[in-house]
Amino acid sequence: MKTDEQIQQDVINQLKWEPFLTSSEIGVAVRNGVVTLSGHVDTYAKKYEAEKAAGKVSGVKAIAEDIQVGISPGNQRSDADIAEAVVNALRWHTAIQEDKIKIKVDSGVVILQGEVEWSYQKTAALNAIIYLTGVKSVTNLITIKPKLNAAIIEQKISAAFQRHASLDASKINVSISDSRVILNGTVRSLAESEDANDAAWAAPGVREVENNLSIEEGEYVY
């Protein structure tokens, strides 16, 4: 099993590996497998990518993210300019029905609201604006309108787990409560847990995923 020091070094190395990030801007602390990221970056995209990078490291059980975004003078934009850029980004994205989404921008913070039928549409809306200049953070309040009954949703998610190369479907139990998916069982890493989470969200009509998957404690190979 990895020590906190080994996990910390692996996360630091992963941040250095990401070409979009400047690792010296981000501090890494680890306690009992929980990684805390701190520091200051000049774009929201860097904050987002740093969290994704840390989640790829084996042994990481959870991420506490405390990175501050301070937009550099050259990237400052008015809320009106950011709102216009968001509207255009959503309009040009083929997976998004922009007429279903309402946008609000307050001091660089983008708030998305509305209702869609699929989780991937909610995720696509977020991904479409992460890299826009001037954005400090994104609050995604888009809701998902259920379309299928619980039995069909559960069947589709279980089948998706069986197809997924990185998942051991035999160790994951799926249950449905209303349009909420509940995942129980064990996985080998935080990344595998996130893969299971994403697969569950991909089912139509899912409003919420409760991820109770625990990470197996394995031997660390030097």
CATH code at position 63: 3.30.1340.30
Of 76-90, 114-128, 162-176, give the lowest mean pLDDT range: 162-176
Q: Using CA atoms, how far apart are residues 61 and 214, in angstroms rounded to an integer? A: 8
**What does pLDDT average to over the chain?**
88
Q: Is residue 131 part of a domain?
A: yes
Domain boundary among 70, 99, 121: 70
* Six token digits for residue 123: 């995720």
Of 5-14, 42-51, 173-182, give the lowest mean pLDDT range: 173-182
Contact between residue 181 and residue 160 where contact means Cβ atoms under 8 Å apart: no
Domain boundary among 125, 144, 163: 144
Q: Is residue 220 part of a domain?
A: no
**What pLDDT score does 217 carry?**
67
Query: Does residue 62 share a domain with residue 34?
Result: yes
Query: Does residue 159 share a domain with residue 172?
Result: yes
Total domain count for the chain? 3
- What's the rounded mean pLDDT across residues 64-81? 89
Alpha-helix runs per DSSP H in the chain = 4-17, 44-55, 79-91, 119-129, 150-163, 190-201
Domain boundary among 19, 43, 70: 70
Q: Using CA atoms, how far apart are residues 26 and 124, in angstroms rounded to an integer? A: 27
Whole domain around residue 194: which residue ranges?
Answer: 150-215
The confidence band for 149, taking pLDDT boundaries of 50, 70 and 90, is: low
**What pLDDT score does 146 carry?**
64
Query: Does residue 185 share a domain with residue 137?
Result: no
pLDDT at 206 over 70: yes
Q: What percent of the chain has pLDDT over 90?
A: 51
Give the dihedral of Cα atoms 191, 14, 127, 214; nearest 10 deg: 20
pLDDT at 94 over 60: yes
**Positive or negative: CA dihedral 82, 99, 97, 197:** positive
Q: Using CA atoms, how far apart are residues 174 and 212, in angstroms rounded to an integer? A: 10
- What's the rounded mean pLDDT across residues 134-151? 83
pLDDT at 47 over 70: yes
